[in-house]
Amino acid sequence: GSGIESIHTYFYGFFSALIKLPASYSAGVVTAFYISNYDTFPHNHDEVDFEFLGVAAGTPYLLQTNIYGDGSAKGREERINLWFDATADFHRYSILWNSYQLVFFIDDIPIRRMARSGELGHQYPSKPMKAYSSIWDGSNWATDGGHSPVNYAYGPFVASFTDLKLQGCEEGSICSDQQNEISSIRDLTEQQKNDLAWVRENHLTYTYCNDRQRYPIPFPECS
């Protein structure tokens, strides 16, 4: 595997990249784009993930998103089926993170939103983070629950990244007007709310809020 790490650390911001995923057979291969502060806060880190789970040829990619706050051992995983061929061309994947909300976007369409609330407390990501991208062997879990491991006969597995945008308040610097504008976005527009509802009605395949086997006591925000 391999990875990329941003030079700067950001406290809130907008993180975005055009990504094209490995083509053909990629079972077991995980391509990721995420923000995290694990290196700085190994015992109470925050993390916000896009994780693209490899597939057999001809099968649509599954996208897993995840949110960790303050070192919570419980992942807030959700999965959606992508409604396009993510291997044929680049698509933009973005994270908006500020003190009001955390939103995942695909091509400017919101696919998931977490609003900051009192119930979340410290489990809302709230410490400065770096941006990362990586591709790695997730044979033990990524595809069919680990029943379809990486087959290196189909390699190399190539994930392409371009047009990276890191727009946030760099730690230790004075925030620009653009960065302050990102920090002031409190909610989605009406069109974005409609788009989010469409994604969740038609493409959501798993959410931690409905998983009573793993989480018999629901997370506070799930109520």
What confidence score (pLDDT) does residue 173 get?
73
| Tokens standing for residue 45 | 């880190």
pLDDT score recorded for residue 213: 93
2-210 domain in CATH 3.30.70.2660?
no
| Average pLDDT value for residue range 174-182 | 74
Report the 3 state secondary structure along 133-176: EEEEECCCCCCHHHCCCCCHHHCCCCCEEEEEEEEEEECCCCCC
Residue 171 pLDDT level (bands cut at 50, 70, 90): confident
- Between 6-10, 119-123, 154-158, the lowest mean confidence (pLDDT) is in 119-123
pLDDT, the chain, mean: 93
Q: For residue 167, which amino acid is it?
A: Q
Q: pLDDT digits over 20-48, tens only?
A: 999 889 999 999 999 999 999 999 999 99
pLDDT tens figures, 59-83? 889 999 999 999 877 789 999 999 9
Q: What number of CA atoms fall less than 13 Å from residue 20's CA on the CB side? A: 10
CA distances from 69 to 2, 36, 40, 44 (A): 25, 10, 14, 8
Q: What is the pLDDT of residues 184-214, one digit of tens each?
A: 899 999 999 999 999 999 999 999 999 999 9
3-state helix, strand, coil in the chain (%, to 5): 15, 40, 45
- Residues designated as active site: 47, 51
